[in-house]
């Protein structure tokens, strides 16, 4: 008599009741996979978060969701998972057979688990010296709490073997059997680097054999019912990456083909591994820390924070770490202390595509620079950016990418802060040369260190008028000064002695569309003018001066090399900064950040500062009352005046 076909899976209900916070945070992804809504306002079939049990047995109508097999180091329920595994009524839900090329892509990328392990493996303790077997601790096995049972079974089944228990997300120590034949590696480790070191590879499931098979090696699955069964490569890829598995863009969280997700996870892992030592962050205010933590995360752990130079050195020594200090909050003794201790040291500052809103209004930045030589706004010491621009041989593919990025910034009308009102209603004279003079924060470190002769906004206006006697001179106060947060305000009557008009509150991009020339000390507005094809005169020594692209008026500006505009853009926007998606809180490319900035600007309040009235008032009070106290406290820690 023929076997009866298995009963059909029950149809999906129209909605599920999410019974855990992770599922509620992953609502968009789950709804995209199922076509059913997750709702708390009506009863329905339960939706459960089961990170350790991808396909539980049973005929319940529950929807079960677990992390998928392809994850980035930055994935979490809050930031989103690059893949999820879904089952309904105990059966895989959706997914597809692996596409051609997936195995080759995976084996080339060598991805496994959350990919938080360092590349390679250094067997300093000699645990693989005698060629033991590897007991691979798969992430699903660890999440289900089945590691002790798996290891106990191996020790019973193979009394003559010695084992090293290790895995891509580490090996949990709780409850492990005590046996002299077993060594445990607690930290995440690269399984692909371990495979050739082991006499045999043991896994807990056929799916978990996939990575060994991708490396061209056999793996053994210990099934308690059948005994140790050697498994071949056929089928393990489909079990790991087939039915029930759904992939998502790591940043937008939209569904994408799994093979595309491999490339994106590999990019994120490379960025994560770029922080090869644990980072100690110095002088980072609380409101900046979430973003800086994402920038500085790495295989050796999340960054540590302190405000004191001695504490920073002690922490870095204890963790074999590196020290990053916020440039204008860096204790003066810290670079020397790091040098004496042999610790890597770098200064951190905002990048040139930052946010929608002002840093002075506590809007975190979406780009930073990490400079191990100096800092870009201080020309007294050659910065990493200046070194890159001076020494890099820019290949055509890099300058082509820079040209495309520059065109996209101009087309999308983006700038560093993306604040200000449209200048469409402003009446600018026709037929006359129009010169923009962007004001700066006068106690800003870039002015104090980078503009040796013209050091204030009124002095800049005087110099600009003397050089452009017949032009229409527009003076734009710096947004931080205009908001009342920082120093540099000029009485209106004084400004109008030299300027024809004060253009407060207007977007810098709209103004650059209407002017012919920019006169500045060190303002980033000069760089933003250059990428829009305007002429720029610099009275100081900003990073973009001295390369043959600006009229340089300060002494000592020449860099000894001439650059094309897109070479300057490549260095300043592609090679020097790091970028962060401020929504996904994951590192990203500058091209991706443009999308986020455009979206955020569209949602921002339509006023001069992209800031609502109450937060603006609160910030003004903070700067008036709290900042003098903070400056005194920083002075006690050896932090000099600055931004």
pLDDT tens digit sequence for 114-125: 999 999 999 888
Q: Is the pLDDT of residue 632 over 90?
A: no
Residue 76 is given by DSSP the state B
Residue 502, pLDDT > 60, answer yes
Mean predicted confidence (pLDDT) in 293-316: 97
Is 608's pLDDT higher than 50? no
Distances (CA, A) of 565 to 396, 498, 537, 568, 577: 13, 31, 15, 5, 17
How distant is the alpha carbon of residue 471 from its chain centre? 44
Residue 643 pLDDT: 43
Q: Which residue from 56, 70, 64 is spatially nearest to 22, judged by alpha carbons?
A: 64
* pLDDT recorded at residue 1: 45
Q: What is the pLDDT of residue 41?
A: 85
Q: Which of 115-124, 139-148, 159-168, 414-423 has the lowest mean pLDDT?
A: 414-423
Work out the average pLDDT over 461-468: 96
Determine the Cα–Cα distance for residues 291 and 365; give it in Å rounded to an integer. 7
Between 423 and 305, name the one with better pLDDT: 305
pLDDT 10s digits, 588-604: 999 999 999 999 888 76
Residue 28 has a pLDDT of 95
Say yes or no: do domains 102-241 and 396-611 share a fold.
Answer: yes
Q: Does the domain made of 102-241 have the CATH classification 2.40.128?
A: no
Give the model's pLDDT for residue 611. 47
What is the residue-averaged pLDDT of the chain? 89
> Mind listing the pLDDT tens digit for each residue in 62-86?
999 999 999 999 999 999 999 999 9
Q: How far is CA 319 from the centre of its chain?
A: 22
Q: Residue range 383-392: average pLDDT?
A: 98
88 confidence band (pLDDT: 50, 70, 90): very high
What are the sequence ranges of the domains in the chain? 15-92, 102-241, 396-611
User: Does the pLDDT of residue 425 top 60, yes or no?
Assistant: no
Is a pLDDT exceeding 90 seen at residue 641? no
Instruction: List C-alpha distances in Å: 410 to 191, 345, 577.
Output: 45, 35, 19
Could you give the percent of the chain with pLDDT greater than 90? 72
User: pLDDT confidence of 481, banded at 50, 70, 90?
Assistant: confident
pLDDT of residue 532: 97
Residue 516 has pLDDT above 50, yes or no: yes
pLDDT of residue 284: 95
Burial 142-176 (b: 16+ CB within 10 A, else e): bbbebbeebbebbbeebeebbbbbbbbbbbbeeee
pLDDT of 639 over the 50 cut: yes
Q: Torsion over CA of 376, 591, 271 and 193, rounded to 10 degrees?
A: -150
CA-based nearest residue to 134, from 187, 196, 179: 196
Comparison of pLDDT for 623 and 279, the residue scoring more: 279
Q: Decide which of 309 and 13 is more confident.
A: 309
pLDDT in the model for residue 94: 94
For the domain covering 396-611, report its CATH number: 3.40.50
pTM to 2 decimal places: 0.89
| 556-565 mean pLDDT | 96
pLDDT category at 464 given cuts 50, 70, 90 is very high
Q: What is the pLDDT of residue 51?
A: 84
């Amino acid at each position: 008599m023929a076997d009866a076909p298995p009963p059909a899976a029950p149809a999906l209900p129209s909605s599920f009741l999410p019974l855990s916070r992770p599922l509620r945070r992953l609502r968009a992804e789950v709804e995209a996979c199922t076509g059913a809504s997750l709702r708390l306002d009506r009863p329905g079939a339960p939706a459960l978060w089961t990170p350790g049990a991808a396909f539980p047995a049973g005929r319940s109508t529950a929807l079960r969701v677990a992390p998928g097999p392809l994850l980035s180091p930055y994935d979490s329920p809050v930031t989103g998972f690059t893949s999820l595994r879904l089952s309904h009524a105990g059966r895989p839900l959706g997914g597809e057979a692996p596409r051609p090329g997936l195995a080759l892509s995976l084996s080339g990328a060598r991805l496994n688990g959350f990919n938080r392990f360092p590349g390679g493996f250094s067997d300093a303790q000699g645990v693989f010296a005698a060629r033991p077997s590897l007991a691979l601790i798969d992430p699903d096995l660890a999440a289900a709490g089945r590691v002790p049972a798996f290891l106990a079974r191996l020790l019973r089944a193979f009394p003559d073997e010695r084992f090293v228990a290790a895995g891509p997300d580490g090996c949990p120590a709780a409850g492990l059997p005590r046996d002299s034949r077993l060594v445990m590696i607690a930290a995440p480790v690269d399984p692909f680097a371990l495979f050739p070191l082991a006499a045999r590879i043991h896994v807990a499931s056929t799916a978990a054999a996939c990575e060994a098979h991708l490396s061209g090696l056999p793996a053994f699955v210990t099934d308690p019912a059948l005994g140790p069964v050697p498994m071949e490569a056929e089928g393990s890829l489909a079990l790991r990456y087939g039915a029930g598995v759904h992939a998502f863009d790591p940043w937008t969280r939209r569904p994408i083909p799994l093979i595309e997700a491999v490339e994106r996870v590999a990019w994120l892992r490379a960025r994560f591994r770029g922080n090869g030592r644990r980072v100690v962050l110095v002088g980072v205010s609380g409101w900046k820390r979430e973003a800086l933590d994402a920038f500085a995360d790495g295989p050796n752990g999340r960054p540590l924070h302190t405000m004191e130079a001695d504490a920073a050195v002690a922490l870095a020594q204890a963790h074999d770490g590196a020290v990053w200090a916020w440039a204008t909050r860096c204790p003066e003794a810290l670079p020397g202390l790091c040098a004496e201790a042999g610790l890597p040291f770098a200064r951190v500052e905002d990048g040139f595509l930052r946010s929608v809103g002002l840093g002075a209004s506590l809007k975190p930045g979406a780009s930073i620079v990490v400079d191990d030589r100096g800092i870009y706004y201080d020309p007294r010491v050659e910065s990493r950016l200046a070194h890159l621009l001076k020494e890099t041989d820019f290949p055509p593919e890099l300058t082509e990418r820079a040209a495309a990025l520059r065109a996209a910034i101009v087309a999308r009308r983006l700038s560093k802060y993306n604040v200000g009102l449209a200048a469409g209603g402003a009446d600018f004279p026709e037929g006359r040369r129009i010169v923009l003079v962007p004001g700066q924060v006068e106690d800003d470190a870039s002015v104090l260190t980078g503009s040796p002769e013209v050091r204030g906004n009124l002095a800049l206006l005087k110099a600009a008028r003397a050089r452009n006697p017949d032009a229409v001179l527009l003076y734009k106060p710096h947004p931080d000064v205009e908001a009342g947060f920082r120093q540099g305000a000029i009485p209106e009557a004084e400004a109008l002695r030299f300027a024809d008009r004060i253009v407060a509150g207007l977007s810098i991009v709209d103004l650059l569309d209407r002017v012919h020339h920019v006169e500045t000390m060190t303002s980033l507005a000069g760089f933003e003018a250059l990428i829009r094809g305007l002429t720029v005169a610099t009275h100081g020594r900003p990073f973009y001066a001295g390369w043959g692209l600006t009229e340089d008026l300060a002494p000592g500006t020449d860099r000894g090399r001439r650059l094309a505009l897109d070479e300057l853009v490549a260095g300043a926007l592609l090679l020097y900064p790091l970028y962060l998606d401020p929504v996904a809180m994951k590192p990203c490319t500058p091209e991706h950040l443009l999308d986020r900035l455009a979206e955020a600007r569209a949602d921002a309040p339509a006023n001069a500062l992209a800031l609502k009235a109450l937060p603006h008032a609160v910030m003004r009070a903070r700067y008036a009352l709290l900042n003098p106290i903070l400056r005194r406290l920083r002075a006690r820690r050896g932090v000099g005046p600055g931004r």
